Each structure stands twice: as structure tokens, then as C-alpha cells.
Amino acid sequence: DGGITQSPKYLFRKEGQNVTLSCEQNLNHDAMYWYRQDPGQGLRLIYYSQIVNDFQKGDIAEGYSVSREKKESFPLTVTSAQKNPTAFYLCASSTSDRANWYFGAGTRLSVL
Amino acid sequence: QKEVEQNSGPLSVPEGAIASLNCTYSDRGSQSFFWYRQYSGKSPELIMSIYSNGDKEDGRFTAQLNKASQYVSLLIRDSQPSDSATYLCAVIESGTASKLTFGTGTRLQVTL
């Protein structure tokens, strides 16, 4: 089945540690996105990529980094510079006409 | 910054009634509009997309778009307890062609 796979489902970060969230898709989509959701809030865009080896900052990119070395993969690193990383992280991809969007099941990140 | 606004709720309706969810957006050039349903701890599920002024119906759901008033709504007929969730309005803004911007969501409670 085609879809987006995020891992892990739950992740814990220690003080000063970088952690990486995985996002893999087999939908052959060029465009991929990372969103952050805080309790009772909507989704806010962190980074997005429209094509391999290219990505742009979203609205809340500070403290995060991404790479897009393969079409299927768009990992997100939460760096130690992100002082409030506790949130639900969602990866998404879209068709080229942006008419159809697909979301992964999400990763819930907490701070130890 | 371009915005998508929703009343956070909760909106409480009795079972069998019509639930009306509203969303306004600031970018007059926006062309694509989406309604998502999100259960607690889960990723968003697409309910409907709408691109033209007027109504679009799908089963118990009707999306309404008024671009002149920059307003999009979702009506849920014959509301069921299983409809209790947070409903997210999302908009693709003009000039970006890539970013899906979300409102903060309206929490709907369908009571027995």
C-alpha cells in the first residue's frame, strides 16, 4: 500500500541532544513537508521540499534542520537549539497539483 | 503573515443535529481549501476539498465557499457521536503553490 511512514511513534530527547525523526513515502511525490502541532493548536509548517536536494524554511524553522537526498525520504532533525521541542510532528507529501495531501501517523516528541 | 482563523470551540451539538463549522482566511488570492478531521493523538484525515464558490456535498458533509467574503464553512448533517473531533480548515495561499496553511481547529462535541 502506498503511504507515508513516520518513525518512531514516540521519541524522548535529553537536554542538549539532537534527535532525528524519519519520514519515508512510496507515493512518488516530489513535495514533502514537516509540520509541528502543539496541544489545542493547528499545524505549523517547519520545512518543506519541492524536489530532491532542495528545501525551504517554513514558518517555524529555527532549531530544526532537514535533508532531502532521496525522493522517498525527508528526515527532520530537532537540534539542541530548539528549546521547546515537545510536540506532535507530522510529515506530509502532496501531488504535483497540490490537490491531494497525505499525512503520516506522526511522531510524538517529549523532553526527558 | 497570512492567516486562517477558526473558533476553537468546543462546539456542542446534539446527536442528529446539524453542526456548522466556520473558517475565514486573509489571503484573497487563495484558490484551494480543505477540511480535515483530527481525532486526539491521530493525524488529520481529509473530509473535503473545495475550489469554486458555492456548495459541495459529499454524504453528510457540505463545504461552502465564498471567496468574496473570504469564508469557507463545513456543515455536518445528522451529527453522530463519532463525529466528535477537531476540524481543521486549511488553505493553499496564493503565490506559494506549495504550502498548506492550517487554522487552529474547532473542537466539535456531539452529545447523546
Query: pLDDT digits over B74-98, tens only?
Result: 999 999 999 999 999 999 987 766 7
Interface residues of B toward A, Cβ cutoff 8 Å, are 1, 4, 6, 8, 32, 34, 41-44, 46, 49, 88, 90, 92, 97-105
Mean pLDDT for B15-44 is 95
Q: Test A105 with B42 for CB contact under 8 angstroms.
A: yes
What is the DSSP track for B16-35? TS-EEEEEEES-TT--EEEE
Residue B17 to residue B36: CA distance in whole angstroms: 20
Query: pLDDT digits over A72-83, tens only?
Result: 999 999 999 998
Q: Test A43 with B99 for CB contact under 8 angstroms.
A: no
Q: Which pLDDT belongs to residue B96? A: 64
> In chain A, what residues touch B42 (CB-CB under 8 Å)?
105-106
Q: Test B102 with A59 for CB contact under 8 angstroms.
A: no
> In chain B, what residues touch A41 (CB-CB under 8 Å)?
104-105
Q: Test B43 with A106 for CB contact under 8 angstroms.
A: yes
Contact A103, A2 (CB under 8 A): no
> Measured in whole angstroms, how far is the alpha carbon of residue B52 from the centre of its chain?
15
Contacts of A6 (CB under 8 A, 6+ apart): A21, A22, A23, A89, A90, A91, A104, A105, A106, A107
Task: Write the residue in B1, B32, B102 that is nearest to A43 by C-beta.
Answer: B102
B99 — pLDDT class (breaks 50, 70, 90)? confident
Q: Test A42 with B104 for CB contact under 8 angstroms.
A: yes
Q: Whose grid coordinates read 502541532?
A: A37
Task: At B79, list the grid cell.
Answer: 451529527
For residue B73, pLDDT beyond 90: yes
